[in-house]
Amino acid sequence: MLQSQKIGTVKARGSVFLSMLSLLALSLAPGIAIIFYIYSKDKYDREPFENLFISFLLGVVCTVPAALIQRNLQPQLDHLVSPFSITYYFIWAFILVAFSEEGSKFLVLRLYSYRQKAFNEPFDGIVYSVMVSMGFATLENVLYVFHHGFATGILRMFLSVPAHACFGVLMGYHTGLAKFDPEKSALHLWKGLLLAVFFHGSFDFFLFLQNNPNVTRYVSESLLVVGALISYWIAIRLSLRSIRQHQALSNRYLKTPEIYFSFEI
């Protein structure tokens, strides 16, 4: 009797362990896949592994300031703005979430990755930005999947994690321009940050509005999801175009460094 109980306990623990491993694999897979995809697109002068790894780890770390900002400002928002107003969800999506998260990634990108000697071609802006974004998104994904389960992991695999990558590409595209166009570097950097914030905020804004009964009374939740997906689709299209343009620009720049940047999103 005791022996069978012990066997049952071991099997139960083994099942829990395998379940946790499955959730962990599901959490990590999309970020790793995107990293390898972006790395494969860096055709001309690939970055040192150390720089990429540190950028990824710093992306993980920058979840902390973003979380602190959201945690400390959310009560202020609740106090100052009615949670039944559209303004509440606009501030929540674009400032509390999008600006805090993309701003944290931007600081890591600007203060570490941007300063590396290996950052020597325009496409490197995309590579480093995506590394930072995937560090952030991977930790976020692990927390969400372990808390909400397998179905959430599947959904985030195709939406949230790739969305973070798209925001990273848009920011990185302009960071790459800034690095090699010093006269307009501030403009490029701000444009990259604001584009990432805009598309991140737009994506979240439509999803958050599903919690507002004053909105769902007139607009169906399905239509709000469509709005988020349209924003996501546009970000994907711009990201793919940015990758192609920076590949071409890096090729030209490495051959003729005196090139003047003429590509714009």
Between CA 152 and CA 33 the distance in angstroms is: 18
Structure tokens at 34: 């995107």
pLDDT above 80 (res 75):
yes
Residue 23 to residues 29, 133, 170, 183, 250: CA-CA distances in angstroms? 10, 21, 29, 47, 38
Could you read off the pLDDT of 178-224 as tens digits, one per residue? 998 889 999 999 999 999 999 999 999 999 999 999 999 999 999 99
Q: Which amino acid, 106? A: F
Could you read off the pLDDT of 152-168 as tens digits, one per residue? 999 999 999 999 999 99
| C-beta of residue 146 within 8 angstroms of C-beta of residue 107 | no
CA 96 to chain centre: 15
The residue that leads in pLDDT, 202 or 259, is: 202
pLDDT above 70 (res 87):
yes
Could you read off the pLDDT of 95-149 as tens digits, one per residue? 999 999 999 999 999 999 999 999 989 999 999 999 999 999 999 999 999 999 8
pLDDT at 20: 84
Vertex 48, ends 189 and 255: CA angle to 5°?
70
| C-beta of residue 34 within 8 angstroms of C-beta of residue 163 | no
